[in-house]
Amino acid sequence: MRIIAGKFKGRRLTNPKNMTVRPTTDRVKESVFSILHEKVINARFLDLCAGSGNIGIEALSRGAKQVTFLEQNLKCIRLIEQNLQACGLEISDPQVQLIRADVTKGIKKLNVRSETFDLVYFDPPYNAELYNKCLSHISDTRILESTGTLLVEHRKRTVLPLNFGLLTCDREKQYGDICLSFYRYL
Residue 35 has phi, psi (to 5 degrees) of -70, -45
Is residue 28 one of the residues assigned to a domain?
A: no
Number of domains in the chain: 1
Residue 14 in any domain: the answer is no
On whether residue 97 sits in a domain, the answer given is yes
In the predicted structure, residue 101 carries a pLDDT above the cut 80: yes
Phi-psi region of 49 (alpha: psi -120 to 50; beta: other; left: phi over 0): left
pLDDT in tens, 102-137: 999 999 999 999 999 999 999 988 777 889 899 999
- Determine contact, residues 107/46, Cβ cutoff 8 Å: no
Hey, is 48 helix, strand or coil? strand
Look at residue 11 and tell me if it is in a domain: no
- Tens digits of per-residue pLDDT, 133-159? 999 999 999 899 999 999 999 999 988
Q: 33-71 pLDDT, tens per residue?
A: 999 989 999 999 999 999 999 999 999 999 999 999 999
* Cα distance between residue 84 and residue 60, in whole Å: 10
In a domain, 169, yes or no: yes
Domain hosting residue 118, numbered range: 38-185
If we measure between CA atoms, which residue out of 104, 80, 84 comes closest to residue 93?
A: 84
CATH number of the domain bearing residue 134: 3.40.50.150
Question: Which residues have C-beta within 8 Å of that of residue 137, sequence separation ≥ 6?
Answer: 104, 107, 108
In a domain, residue 67? The reply is yes
pLDDT at 18: 65
